[in-house]
Amino acid sequence: MLKRKPGNSGLEVSALGLGCMGMSHGFGPAADRQEMISLIRTAVERGVTFFDTAQVYGPFTNEELVGEALAPFRDQVVIATKFGFNFEADRDQRPLNSSPEYIRRMTEESLKRLRIEAIDLYYQHRVDPNVPIEEVSGTVKDLIQAGKVKHFGLSEAGVQTIRRAHAVQPVTALQSEYSLWWREPEADIIPALEELGIGFVPFSPLGKGFLTGKIDETTTFDSTDFRNTVPRFNPENRKANQAIVDLVTTMAAKKQATPAQFALAWVLAQKPWIVPIPGTTKLHRLEENLGAAQVELLADELREIEQVASQITIQGHRYSEGSQRMIDR
């Protein structure tokens, strides 16, 4: 597996990471724990060194899973987790809480669940409008000085928030959605990250599964799958958005790659400091995704896909109304 450096912090990880959320949370019932431990350990054997989890996934069960799975490989891997949700509030109204005291308390609990002495990369999961980002950055800076955290990250943060945070404690990476069917970060986020030397870790680089070509307007999701609440995934929008999948499928065939591999290769080709973290619960999908690192897209191929993609208008918001309110602009 090729290595990449997301930003100028000195952190080095595999070119593709593994997003672990779906193993416990979000896409239907939690997968079998022992199977997921085996999957994570197979990823390590295949050269993956970057694993992503969060306190809210479960909540907590995903951190516990990742901690157990990676315990034998602690010195070989980079573990990222996220803070910022308030677990003392009503589950259905899960508000944010990035107060310094709460961050410190939740950090200690994450360290225990992950079975580690220091969190390699610690993201604020969502920007808390009630706590100045300078306070958040300062708290994480203290945790870094105390040896409990190694690198600071932000998730779904806007440019001004990133700049303010970075001025207090250098931000190693931003995690946000980015793929061929969600390209908003190209306007302002990616240029700012490049200027500041901050890495970019795209989640949902396969469009929550849509860009694999395995989902169409007739697909039904489990009742607990959050895609049921995402406007972009209603049947009408899926039908309209099939055009981007058709483009990916056509281009992939020319490269003798799968649609998933092509979609990931496209993300990798955008900047050398981008590290996507596709998730899966299936071994054959893990193997398929990792193959994307070997798919090299040439300049004329990138121009070709850009020319066609620019003519396609994606339909539907990427979040439900409630989740959309948590996005920092």
pLDDT tens readout for residues 112-159: 999 999 999 999 999 999 999 999 999 999 999 999 999 999 999 999
pLDDT at 321 (0 to 100):
84
* 49 SS3 class: coil
Give pLDDT, residue 324: 87
Supply angle C-alpha 324, 85, 54, rounded to 5. Answer: 95
Residue predicted with more confidence, 92 or 203: 203
Task: Say what percent of the chain tops pLDDT 70.
Answer: 99
- Quickly list DSSP for 236-250: HHHHHHHHHHHHHHH
CB 163 within 8 A of CB 192: yes
Question: So where are the chain's domains?
Answer: 3-207+271-295
- The CB density around residue 242, as the number of other CB atoms within 10 Å, is 17
Tell me what pLDDT residue 265 has: 98
Band of pLDDT at residue 93, cut at 50, 70 and 90: low
What residues are annotated to the active site?
Answer: 57
SS3 29: coil
First to last CA, the chain: 35
What beta strand segments (E) does 23-155 contain? 50-52, 78-83, 119-124, 149-155
pLDDT confidence band for 92 (50 / 70 / 90):
low
Query: Cα dist. 15→49, 155, 206, 239, 293 in Å?
Result: 9, 19, 15, 32, 7
**Model confidence at 38: pLDDT above 70:** yes
SS3 96: strand
Reported as a single tens digit per residue, the pLDDT across 266-293 is 999 999 999 999 999 999 999 999 999 9
Q: What integer best gives the mean pLDDT of the chain?
A: 96
CATH superfamily of 3-207+271-295: NADP-dependent oxidoreductase domain (3.20.20.100)
pLDDT recorded at residue 137: 98
Task: Report phi then psi at 304, rounded to 5.
Answer: -65, -45
CA distance 30 to 7: 33
